[in-house]
Structure 1
Amino acid sequence: MTQNWGMTIPFYDRSLSRAQDLVAELPALGYTDVWSAEVNGADGFVPLALAAQWAPQVRLGSAIVPVSTRGPGLLAMSAATLADLAPGRFVLGIGASSPAIVERWNAGTFTKPYGRTRDTLRFLKKALAGEKVSESYETFEVKGFKLERAPKTPPKIVLAALRPRMLHLAAEEADGAITNWLSPDDVRKVRAKIGAGTELIARLFVCVDDDAERVRQTAKRMLAGYLTVPVYAAFHDWLGRGEALRPMHEAWAAGDRQAALKAIPDEVVDDLIVHGDAATCRARIKEYVANGLDTPVLAPLPGPMPIDQAVRELAPEA
């Protein structure tokens, strides 16, 4: 599989309206991909639509769009629009997301996350191929949906997958798996579940800063926000960090946020956040690749080095 080197957009330090020049520079730096996200900032599609024009050489991917915050038909329409803008260059990343995003923020229902993801994948494969879909799935029913303009080249579809069941689904029915918050060693365990022929994509949070203590103090806030989410807690139990993270979970459950932050071991931060000078960070990213990661998607974090400089110094051709 061709080695990719991706970048997350929008960047942490600027709005999308100010990102054009840096996005346009990415191909010359050696970046092959740009990937969006969808939490509570930019949506997952508009940044990619703009990047399709700003950097017409790169592959575009969503990592990820939740399957329960849009109806199946609307999700198919959005994906078809991107596939039309960037034929053969768009990858639709979908996933279950979390109860906070689906229920508390979007008034949806977070039930049967595996089933909803599986059913959405199966629906999208048919709809994006131009078929008329009338089908009763386990988690929803579609009656007579057909895209007015199906893409000439249907996009590949990849799944957010953190544990064996979803990883197996990604390998068996999708075109790849997306994960994040893992170490280079963890890549081997994930890769073993999907086999050699399935693309593995991961967002890597990178801070170009050789002050390790400063990075750890900042990163622990990010880690606490993610690793206390049940799906990520279960992921790290499976990866073998359950005991190391138990004090954090206990403090968080007791409502003591500061104690939870302090309870995160430094070695967990060092496992999950790429940090150091630019050369050290690039070498660490290459460890992920050597262990089976096909597509590292970098997410440079704010630090003493400006984001645009970090983007340039983290490039594979730097």
Structure 2
Amino acid sequence: MTIPFHDRTLAASRELVAELPSLGYTDAWSAEVNGADGFTPLAMAAEWAPSLRLGSAIVPVSTRGPGLLAMSAATLADLAPGRFVLGIGSSSPVIVERWNAGVFAKPYARTRDTLRFLRRALAGEKVTERYETFEIKGFRLEHAPKTPPKIVLAALRPRMLHLARDEADGAITNWLSPQDVHSVRAELASETELIARLFVVVTEDAARARELGRRMLAAYLTVPVYAAFHEWLGRGEVLRPMQEAWAAGDRTGAVKAIPDEVVDDLIVHGDAATCRARIREYVANGLTTPVLSPLPGGDVPIAQAVRELAPHA
């Protein structure tokens, strides 16, 4: 499950987070865009639901220095020993540059270098190293975690997927259909954990779900990394009218240009039983860890959706 929930703040999420294990949920995963940061919700969940595995999906590698990222990860690993998974990724120019005044350059190399630095730092080593995208001089964690966290990478296309396969503990992907899982899984080893956030609208009103889905997809699939991902997956032509309208500044036209079948591919919607069956399709096709993100606007409040989508439902 994704925390915090879309309809409430972190402070208001305590009771529902604490309920997750009894519903059959195994994990709580944060995100970091323009809401809560990626670490605080997990720190609170470590106290509220101490049996859950906790993960970040994802923390950008270019909005914090490498040492600060190591310190934050070490703190979570201490709060939830053996239960914390650090998910990192390159993020996007909007988040890194426009919102955080950073530099979005050499995203693959920066992610690779950060992964390699974190492996050493979280193992308690003193790190002095010149990487391709930064240099570290004599960094050592004051309290290295007894159990270093697993590190997983946001990965959408073969090069980053291969880095996740070869040097990390898993891959995180996003905005894909059950059939797309086959393409992604083919780039990974069979034992590599594959994690994906699935956006879910519990409603039998398909038109309403598609309207909500189109707005989200237009915002995401026009980002260059996601546009390239869906080109690779084979949706380049069907998404071209949306891309052209967006590039021309026609946001309304871009939203309208997304076909129903694309929304139905990428947004899980229907009644709760239909949604659960759709989630099982992802798993059957090779997704190890489906991370649900129930969206507002469905037929039931999010808390009810969380309960109705649960493994024990």
On whether the aligned pair clears a TM of 0.5, the verdict is: yes
Counterpart code for 2:208 = R
What residue is the counterpart of 2:303 in the other structure? 308
Contact 2:97–2:104 under 8 Å retained in 1: yes
- Is 1:257 paired with 2:251? yes
In structure 1, the residue matched to 2:239 is 245
Note the aligned Cα RMSD (angstroms).
0.4
Of 149, 157, 167, which aligns to 2:161?
Answer: 167
Task: Return the TM-score normalized by structure 1.
Answer: 0.98
- Residue 306 of structure 1: how far off its partner (Å): 0.4
- In structure 1, give the amino acid aligned to 2:303: D
Amino acid at match of 2:309: L
One-letter amino acid of the structure 2 residue matched with residue 182 of structure 1: L
CA distance in 1, matches of 2:250, 2:149: 45
TM superposition shift of 1:218: 1.3
CA distance in 2, matches of 1:75, 1:58: 22
Paired residue type of 1:272 = L
Q: TM-score, normalised by structure 2?
A: 0.99
Aligned to 1:199: 193
Deviations 1:178-204 (A, max 9, x none): 001000000011000012010000000
Which one of 289, 296, 299 corresponds to residue 295 of structure 1?
289
Select 1:266's aligned residue among 260, 268, 275.
Answer: 260
Three-state SS of the structure 1 residue aligned to 2:186 is helix
Secondary structure at the counterpart of residue 280 of structure 2 = helix
1:4 aligns to what?
Answer: none
Find the aligned partners of 2:117 and 2:205 in 1 and give their Cα distance. 48
1:267 and 1:307 map into 2 onto residues whose CA distance is 25
Question: Does the CA-based 8 Å contact 2:197-2:290 persist in structure 1?
Answer: yes
CA distance in 1, matches of 2:82, 2:110: 26
The alignment partner of 2:33 has SS state of coil
Structure 2 matches for 1:100-111, cutoff 5 A?
A: 100-111=94-105
Query: Do structure 1's residue 120 and structure 2's residue 114 form an aligned pair?
Result: yes
CA distance in 2, matches of 1:122, 1:92: 13
Amino acid in the other structure paired with 2:220 = Y
Structure 2 unaligned regions, length at least 5: none
Give the C-alpha shift of residue 294 in structure 1. 0.4
Shift of 1:304: 2.2
The one-character-per-residue Cα deviations of 1:152-194 (angstroms, maximum 9, x if unpaired) are: 0000000000000000000000000000100000001100001
Q: Which amino acid counterpart does residue 183 of structure 1 have in structure 2?
A: S
For 1:131, what is the secondary structure of its paired residue?
A: coil
Q: Does structure 1 conserve the Cα–Cα contact (< 8 Å) formed by 2:204 and 2:299?
A: no
Q: Once the two structures are superposed, what CA deviation does each residue of 1:62-102 show, in whole Å capped at 9, x if it has no partner?
A: 00000000000000000000000000000000000000000
Aligned residues: 312
Conservation of the 8 A alpha-carbon contact between 2:197 and 2:293 = yes
- The aligned residue for residue 55 of structure 2 is 61
- The aligned amino acid for 2:120 is K
Deviation, structure 1 residue 219: 1.1
State the identity %.
81
Tell me the residue number matched to 1:215. 209
Structure 1 runs of 4+ off > 4 angstroms? none
Aligned with 2:173 (options 154, 175, 179): 179
Letter in 2 for 1:297: V
Q: CA deviation at 1:316?
A: 0.8
Q: Does 1:78 align with 2:98?
A: no
Q: Please say if residues 295 and 302 of structure 2, whose CA atoms lie closer than 8 Å, have aligned partners that are also in contact.
A: yes
